[in-house]
């Protein structure tokens, strides 16, 4: 558990350090020729890297003396040489002595770092005793492609690696759950006492935060790939994203952590929005993608004040309600939340729902410009009053939208693939239910609204749609909560039918205003929010 005691240990461990991090950003160079490697080194420097890891095992042909001399001489950055064998996840499948000789030669020619595996570390370090330049640092590494062991096991592993004489220890474990990363953070915090720097990495999408938050938890360096597609480890971010999307250089020991909890989550634009706005207003926070399988386990593990606020996405909006110590009355009525803050006064989790405000406001704005903007009943002051409002889906977002529409005086129909779930939600909010297959059979009437709250049509399945194009002609306005892509097939076909469409991006921006204010205690810079999203759409 990454508790407040761990946070306190971190503060002790970093006492006397600069407020901003000194964690290095390393770009792996994995080209197949020396010439390409030299070119990529220049690109890495231009993108802001501190050093490069030269992966010798990726070279198709390799002349030790000649090629190493060129790589060291022409590299514009400090060099880290690794020659990873297949038995440790690399490409090299040749003679071991030949491999280690190449690393020793790289040392002799002026390498700044060499990376050797724990299995051969003691032998390698003994072989360079008395010859090792003072400036050279030996990184001893260990990869686990099966799992992330217990804290005790990782601690014992790190101790064994330190005992080899390592200058720096590197552990990379496979994260089967995002909570696995917490064990790496704990070891990173406590390893600072030993004075042997640690590189702790979580492999896989669930381990992404290990790379982003390495600076916060005292990691010696982190890795960012040169460009998409040049990955040396699963789900490694690009150096551009590390530095510019996550504001890596500004992350320090007291930076507050925020993120979007969802599954899937990589499509979310929330990190682009919040991180850019955080930086613009000078707020010390970082916002990350959090691929969460079990939300209750997530909150039990990341329980310190460092983890300060979260957006909640599909499929966790209902389950998140049960994780909160307190829930806003409106969110309780809806039965789903999309925002959680950890209250600074007592560390309690407080849940809210900002979805319905963002979505309903966006739809009402869309109706203002619609060719059919007259509600059947305007006594409520909303253009939704008296209209038939059809919601596709029966999850947390559906509940929020149905609640908001009902509050504005609309008549509700809930359509879902599973009729029983549609019926359950319809009974709660006061409306009718039908299966998704029966949706095209609704008798048409003036001013009908259709709102999709499911993931049907979201990247990568952009050719999917919840309803036929022919059936869309019955509606006055169609809303899609999906915003990746901004124009889904549902919205495109509705527009082709002459129907007013409202993108999920409008809902996203609307609900984000309130979340930002809850996260930071600052007023939301609305014009900046919209500008950021337009730039990234």
| Strand-strand pairing, 113-117 and 137-144 | parallel
Q: Which residue has the higher pLDDT, 121 or 8?
A: 121
> How many angstroms separate the CA atoms of 317 and 507, rounded?
16
Q: DSSP readout, 484-535?
A: SSSS-HHHHHHHHTT-EEE-HHHHHHHHHHHHHHHHHSS---HHHHHHHHHH
Q: Are 83 and 92 in contact (CB under 8 A)?
A: yes
Which two structure tokens, joined as six digits, stand for 119? 């299995």
Q: In the block, which residue shows the tokens 């090792």?
A: 132
- What mean pLDDT comes out for the span 157-172? 97
Which residues pair with residue 350 across a beta bridge? 326, 341
Strand positions, DSSP E, 129-189: 137-144, 168-174
> How many angstroms separate the CA atoms of 19 and 25, rounded?
17
The reported pTM is 0.85
Q: Is the pLDDT of residue 145 over 50?
A: yes
- What mean pLDDT comes out for the span 506-533? 92
Q: Is 60 noted as a catalytic residue in this protein? A: no
Which two structure tokens, joined as six digits, stand for 494? 């509705």
Which two structure tokens, joined as six digits, stand for 423? 């019926």
* Backbone phi and psi for residue 141, each to the nearest 5 degrees, phi listed first: -120, 155
**400-413 tens-digit pLDDT:** 999 999 999 999 99
**243-259 tens-digit pLDDT:** 999 999 999 999 999 99
**312-364 tens-digit pLDDT:** 998 999 999 999 999 999 999 888 899 999 999 999 999 999 988 889 999 99
Q: Are 404 and 359 in contact (CB under 8 A)?
A: yes
Which residues pair with residue 289 across a beta bridge? 260
Helix 504-520, helix 526-536: angle, nearest 10: 130
What is the pLDDT, as a whole number, of residue 369?
73
Strand positions, DSSP E, 343-465: 349-352, 388-392, 411-416, 432-435, 449-452
Looking at the chain, the whole-number percentage of residues with pLDDT higher than 90 is 82
Which two structure tokens, joined as six digits, stand for 457? 């049509």
Which two structure tokens, joined as six digits, stand for 193? 């006492």
What is the pLDDT confidence band of residue 195, given thresholds at 50, 70 and 90? confident
What is the pLDDT, as a whole number, of residue 20?
61
**431-488 tens-digit pLDDT:** 999 999 999 999 999 999 999 999 999 988 999 999 999 999 999 999 999 988 989 9
Residues 6+ apart with CB under 8 A from 281: 520, 522, 525
- Of 317, 461, 518, 526, the catalytic one is 317
């Amino acid at each position: 558990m990454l508790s407040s005691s761990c946070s306190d240990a971190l503060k002790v461990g970093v006492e006397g350090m600069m407020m901003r991090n000194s964690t290095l950003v390393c770009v792996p160079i994995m080209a197949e020729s020396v010439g390409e490697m030299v070119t990529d080194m220049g690109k890495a420097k231009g993108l802001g890297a501190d050093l490069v890891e030269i992966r010798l095992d990726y070279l198709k042909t390799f002349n030790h003396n000649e090629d190493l001399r060129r790589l060291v001489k022409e590299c514009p950055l400090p060099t880290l040489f690794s020659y990873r064998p297949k038995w440790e996840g690399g490409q090299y499948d040749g003679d071991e002595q030949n491999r280690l000789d190449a690393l020793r030669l790289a040392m002799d020619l002026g390498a700044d770092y060499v990376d050797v595996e724990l299995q051969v570390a003691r032998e390698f370090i003994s072989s360079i005793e008395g010859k090792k330049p003072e400036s050279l640092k030996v990184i001893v590494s260990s990869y686990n492609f099966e799992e992330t062991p217990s804290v005790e096991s990782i601690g014992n592993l790190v101790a064994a690696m330190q005992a080899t004489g390592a200058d720096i220890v590197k552990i990379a474990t496979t994260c089967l759950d995002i909570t696995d990363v917490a064990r790496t953070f704990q070891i990173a915090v406590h390893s600072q006492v030993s004075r042997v720097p640690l590189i702790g990495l979580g492999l896989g999408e669930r381990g992404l935060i290990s790379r982003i938050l390495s600076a916060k938890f005292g990691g010696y360096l982190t890795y960012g790939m040169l460009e998409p597609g040049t990955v040396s480890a699963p789900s490694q971010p690009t150096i551009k994203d590390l530095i510019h999307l996550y504001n890596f250089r500004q992350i320090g020991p007291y930076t507050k952590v925020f993120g979007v909890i969802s599954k899937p989550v990589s499509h979310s634009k929330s990190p682009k929005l919040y991180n850019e706005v955080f930086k613009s207003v000078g707020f010390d926070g970082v916002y990350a993608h959090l691929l969460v399988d079990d939300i209750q386990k997530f909150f039990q593990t990341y329980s310190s004040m460092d983890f300060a606020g979260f957006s909640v996405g599909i499929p966790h909006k209902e389950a998140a309600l049960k994780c909160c110590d307190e829930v806003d009355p409106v969110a309780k009525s809806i039965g789903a939340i999309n925002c959680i803050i950890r209250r600074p006064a007592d560390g309690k989790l407080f849940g809210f729902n900002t979805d319905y405000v963002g979505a309903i406001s966006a739809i009402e704005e869309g109706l203002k410009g619609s060719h059919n903007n007259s509600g059947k009943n305007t006594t409520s002051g909303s253009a939704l009053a008296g209209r038939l409002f059809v919601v596709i889906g029966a999850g947390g977002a559906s509940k929020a939208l149905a609640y908001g529409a009902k509050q504005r005086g609309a008549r509700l129909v809930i359509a879902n693939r599973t009729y029983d779930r549609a019926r359950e939600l319809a009974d709660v909010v006061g409306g009718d239910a039908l299966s998704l297959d029966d949706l095209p059979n609704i008798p048409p009437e003036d001013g009908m609204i259709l709102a999709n709250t499911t993931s049907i049509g979201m990247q990568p399945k952009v050719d999917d749609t919840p309803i036929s194009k022919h059936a869309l002609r019955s509606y006055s306005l169609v809303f899609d909560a999906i915003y990746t892509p901004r124009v889904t097939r549902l919205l495109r076909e509705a527009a082709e039918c002459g129907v007013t469409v409202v993108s999920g991006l409008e809902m996203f921006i609307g609900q984000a205003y309130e979340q930002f204010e809850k996260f930071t205690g600052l007023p939301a810079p609305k014009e900046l929010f919209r500008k950021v999203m337009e730039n990234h759409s």
